[in-house]
């Protein structure tokens, strides 16, 4: 009898070795899930370290982290997810969410795990941009805002106060002209790293237009209003004049605007908080500072662009994989991870309590970005990729073909409106 009891006990003990607690139950075996994001050095490195922490806390779950070049990311998702392969948790730009939802790549967040009341009470308001059809389709670890970076040494070299960056757009234009260097028409140093393919795209839509008195879209986001008032034409012409009339920067100078700044060949640029990690590691020889975005002398209206990359559950996450994915998603959106993400990547916490931290707001690096969040607007994109390209094409019409800015803006609005009409129809 005793021998039989020993056998039963051993079998029971062996069974427990293969039963480890899951997110809301018991997993029959170790569960492996995939997490996908596009490759950005500081983000990829930080995520690898965070996954180690998560797996140590949750030995029943293995997370495979895969990254892809930005240009290939959406295509990889489009090929893999419909085939039942690829990520269980995916990191995507919020502007892609409507296309992902329409294509059936995502499943809505379960309300019993991520209640709308919790999201709206604890996260920054801009997360509403991924509330589609009355449901939330993901949550961010961090959010972004824009700020003006300046090279203090180049300011000093040009006879400008290195500790007083421009506060108005008029000053920025004046300073940029003074710090631009050319040789027989060849640009040697940018006074301002002008670009339409980078963050200047958002500067025009959510900053310049609003400061020139134009609401970019109708309240329901169905109508593009960029040319609805004279201020829209004035803002577009002022912006493109930086590159055409004053020639303070070129879109492809040194490859891209951030490379030019890191190389010490651009005196000013506008970039997102996500660039902080890169600048801290690659611009160690540059004496740079950060300040809030300029305003117009005429009205002093403040505006900024806010954005984020959300973590969503794909339709591949089912059964035990779904439970594991939910647990991982909760980890990625926890206050602890947000604090780590801020220090290692530079992106701002997505939770209101952290974004309002007094010490962070006083920080000379993070402070300007946090200040910008207070008046930031997240553009509702229908198809972010095509909408961004339409704006790039319009600026190329002006820069390369000499098209009148007013004509180029009218054509741009038609192209943008066509994209929205197709979606909302």
How does DSSP assign 241-281, residue by residue?
HHHHTS----TTTTSSHHHHHHTT-BSEEEEEGGGHHHHHH
Q: H or E segment at 387?
A: helix 384-401
Cα 347 to Cα 180, 203, 283, distances in angstroms: 30, 18, 17
Kindly report the pTM of this predicted structure: 0.82
**211 burial type by CB count under 10 A (0-12 exposed, 13-18 middle, 19+ buried):** buried
Q: H or E segment at 407?
A: helix 405-424
- Distance from the Cα of residue 146 to its chain's centroid: 10
Length of the chain: 425
Within 10 Å of residue 255's Cβ, how many Cβ atoms?
9
- DSSP helix/strand/coil, 217: strand
Largest CA distance in the chain: 100
Phi, psi of 42 (to 5 degrees): -65, -35
The neighbouring-strand residues paired with 132 are: 135
At residue 23's C-alpha, the angle toward residues 21 and 28, to 5°, is: 45
The neighbouring-strand residues paired with 77 are: none
Domains detected in the chain? 22-144+307-369 (3.40.190.10), 146-305+382-424 (3.40.190.10)
Distant-in-sequence, close-in-space partners of 288: CB < 8 Å, separation ≥ 6: 149, 150, 151, 152, 261, 279
pLDDT tens-digit profile, the chain (425 residues): 444 444 444 444 444 333 433 444 456 579 999 999 999 998 999 999 999 999 999 999 999 999 999 999 999 999 999 999 999 999 999 999 999 999 999 999 999 999 999 999 999 989 999 999 899 999 999 999 999 999 999 999 999 999 999 999 999 999 999 999 999 989 999 999 999 999 999 999 999 999 999 999 999 999 999 999 999 999 999 999 999 999 999 999 999 999 999 999 999 999 998 898 889 889 999 999 999 999 999 999 999 999 999 999 999 999 999 999 999 999 999 999 999 999 888 889 999 999 888 988 999 999 999 999 989 999 999 899 899 999 999 999 999 999 999 999 999 999 999 999 998 88
């Amino acid at each position: 009898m005793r021998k039989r009891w020993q056998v039963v006990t051993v079998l029971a003990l062996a069974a427990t070795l293969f039963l480890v607690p899951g997110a809301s139950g018991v997993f029959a075996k170790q569960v492996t899930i995939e997490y996908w994001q596009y490759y950005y050095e500081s983000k990829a490195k930080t995520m690898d370290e965070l996954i180690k922490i998560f797996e140590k806390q949750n030995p029943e779950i293995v997370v495979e982290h895969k990254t892809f070049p930005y240009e290939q990311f959406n295509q990889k998702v489009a090929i893999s997810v419909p085939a039942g392969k690829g990520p269980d948790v995916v990191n995507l730009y919020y502007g892609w969410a409507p296309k992902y939802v329409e294509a059936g790549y995502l499943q809505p967040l379960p309300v019993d795990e991520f209640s709308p009341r919790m999201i709206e009470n604890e996260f920054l308001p801009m997360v509403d941009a991924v509330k589609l059809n009355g449901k939330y389709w993901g949550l961010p670890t961090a959010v972004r805002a824009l700020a003006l970076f300046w090279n203090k040494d180049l300011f000093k070299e040009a006879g400008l106060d290195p500790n007083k960056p421009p506060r108005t757009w008029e000053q920025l234009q004046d300073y940029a002209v003074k710090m631009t260097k050319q040789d027989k028409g060849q640009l040697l140093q940018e006074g301002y790293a002008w670009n339409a393919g980078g963050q200047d795209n958002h500067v025009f839509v959510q900053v310049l237009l609003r400061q020139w008195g134009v609401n970019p879209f109708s309240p329901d986001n169905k109508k593009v209003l960029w040319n609805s008032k004279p201020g829209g034409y004035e803002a577009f012409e002022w912006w493109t004049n930086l590159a055409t009339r004053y020639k303070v920067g070129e879109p492809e100078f040194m490859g891209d605007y951030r490379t030019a700044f890191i190389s010490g060949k651009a005196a000013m640029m506008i970039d997102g908080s996500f660039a902080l990690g890169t600048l801290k590691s690659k611009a160690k020889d540059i004496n740079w500072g950060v300040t809030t975005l300029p305003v117009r002398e005429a009205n002093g209206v403040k505006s900024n662009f806010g954005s984020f990359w959300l973590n969503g559950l794909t339709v591949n996450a089912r059964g035990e994989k779904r439970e594991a994915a939910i647990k991982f998603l909760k980890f990625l959106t926890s206050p602890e991870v947000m604090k780590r993400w801020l220090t290692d990547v530079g992106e701002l916490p997505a939770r209101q309590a952290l974004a309002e931290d007094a010490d962070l707001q006083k920080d000379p690096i993070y402070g300007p970005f946090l200040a910008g969040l207070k008046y930031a607007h997240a553009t509702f994109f229908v198809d972010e990729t095509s909408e961004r390209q339409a704006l790039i094409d319009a600026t190329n019409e002006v820069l390369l073909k000499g098209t009148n800015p007013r004509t180029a803006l009218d054509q741009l609005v038609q192209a943008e409106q066509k994209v929205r009409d197709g979606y909302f129809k």
